[in-house]
Amino acid sequence: MVDNQERYNPIYFTERSVCPVCAGRNGIEFYRSPLDEEPIRGFIASHYETQGTVDWNKLAGTDYVLRECQTCFLIYQVNVPLDAMLYDIYCVMVAPGPLAQLEKQRLTLENFNQIASELETLFQLTGKHPSDVTFLDYGFGHGRWARVARGMGATVFGIEHGEDKEREAAQLGIAIVSDAEIDAMRFDIVHTEQVFEHLVNPGRDFKRLARITDHVFKVAVPRPGDIRQLVQRHGMTNQSPLAKYVGGARLTMDDESYNAIFPLEHLNAYSDRTIEYLASQTDMELISRARRCAPRVDLSTARSAVRSGKRILSPLYRKAASDQGYYILKPRASA
Ligand SMILES: [Zn+2]
């Protein structure tokens, strides 16, 4: 292989030769291995084992390569799937049946309370009555967030592909809009939950979404930790953290770091510095890095009332350590 010539199958993959956030050319490569050989093969196989089918022929001939940009500090996969491969990943390797089942299981009262509590913070930041709020859920998925925003009174729009999703959204009172349509619209809240790590062109898409945000732009992504140091010291894992999580295990910080660079899907891993870079480029201000937790109040017995009283006095926000993967931004002009 010639230096600076990437190894990928051009039918299914393309190369991101420059940083997809800042277009910088000073990225440092710190990991490389073929997609269809260990340890990456095991990483992929264990991830999709319970979700769908992997066609290894499509992954042969392409390297998994990690680079860290020295301008914006994004960590990114260099070789990324083309549209046909993306379809394969999100519709065949992640089969719709098992995913719908998992998403349904996640619709618990506890999850509802968690989302409602966080959305309350976002709604308050708009300074508007909830029924006047317009909310864009970019990457609507199965509507876990959008349905709560709708329930709170907002007018909710979603971006997602496929007729099934449109039907599901319509049932929840949510309008599916196209990527092209949103460029001519404006929203009080632009909401992205576990979306930006998947995007092939995150710099471009961040700019587009920042431009249509009137008040609040939320970006939540996997926590990267110090993934570069982890890989350099301990190498790559061959076990998917998601598979561990679905199996009921608690994830360690290292698991979370490996999850942030999962092959094929988590194409970008963001540190605080990357988000700060994006904010500076789009005239946005970073106003919070802490996700609000739901208060647990159970007044059914006196004892639990005492306990929950203590909880109420405890902080509602998780401590904002660095690189937690949670960001609330607002346009500087609306400051
Ligand atoms: Zn960069």
Integer Cα distance of 328 and 191 in angstroms: 9
Question: What string of DSSP letters covers 218-235?
Answer: EEE-----SHHHHHHHH-
Instruction: Tell me which of 7-11, 142-146, 164-168, 195-199 is least confident.
Output: 164-168
Please give the distance, rounded to the nearest whole angstrom, from the Cα atom of residue 82 to the centre of ligand 1: 21
Please give the distance, rounded to the nearest whole angstrom, from the Cα atom of residue 27 to the centre of ligand 1: 7
Please give the distance, rounded to the nearest whole angstrom, from the Cα atom of residue 22 to the centre of ligand 1: 4
- Hey, where are the domains in the chain? 13-102+223-269, 110-222+283-293+319-334
Please give the distance, rounded to the nearest whole angstrom, from the Cα atom of residue 249 to the centre of ligand 1: 34
In this prediction, residues 196-225 reach a mean pLDDT of: 97
Please give the distance, rounded to the nearest whole angstrom, from the Cα atom of residue 17 to the centre of ligand 1: 11
Please give the distance, rounded to the nearest whole angstrom, from the Cα atom of residue 28 to the centre of ligand 1: 11
In this prediction, residues 87-91 reach a mean pLDDT of: 90
Nearest 5°: CA angle at 282, between 25 and 68?
30
Assign residue 220 a region (left: φ > 0; alpha: ψ between -120 and 50; beta: otherwise): beta
Please give the distance, rounded to the nearest whole angstrom, from the Cα atom of residue 197 to the centre of ligand 1: 14
Please give the distance, rounded to the nearest whole angstrom, from the Cα atom of residue 134 to the centre of ligand 1: 32
Q: Which helix (H) or strand (E) holds 201?
A: none
Q: What pLDDT band is residue 334 in, cutting at 50, 70 and 90? A: low
Please give the distance, rounded to the nearest whole angstrom, from the Cα atom of residue 95 to the centre of ligand 1: 33
pTM for this prediction: 0.90
Q: Which tops the pLDDT comparison, 220 or 165? A: 220
Assign residue 207 a region (left: φ > 0; alpha: ψ between -120 and 50; beta: otherwise): alpha
Closest listed residue to residue 206, CA positions, set 215, 214, 195, 176: 195
Please give the distance, rounded to the nearest whole angstrom, from the Cα atom of residue 148 to the centre of ligand 1: 35
pLDDT number for residue 302: 45
The per-residue pLDDT for range 303-322, each reduced to its tens digit, is: 444 454 444 444 455 556 78
Please give the distance, rounded to the nearest whole angstrom, from the Cα atom of residue 138 to the centre of ligand 1: 23
pLDDT number for residue 4: 57
pLDDT number for residue 304: 47
Nearest 5°: CA angle at 74, between 70 and 80?
115
The per-residue pLDDT for range 276-295, each reduced to its tens digit, is: 999 999 999 999 999 987 76
Share of the chain above pLDDT 90, in %: 72
What's the CATH fold of domain 110-222+283-293+319-334?
Answer: Rossmann fold (3.40.50)
pLDDT number for residue 2: 42
Please give the distance, rounded to the nearest whole angstrom, from the Cα atom of residue 279 to the centre of ligand 1: 13
In this prediction, residues 183-209 reach a mean pLDDT of: 97
Return the number of other C-beta atoms located less than 10 Å from residue 191's C-beta.
Answer: 26
Please give the distance, rounded to the nearest whole angstrom, from the Cα atom of residue 203 to the centre of ligand 1: 9
Flag whether pLDDT at 141 surpasses 90.
no
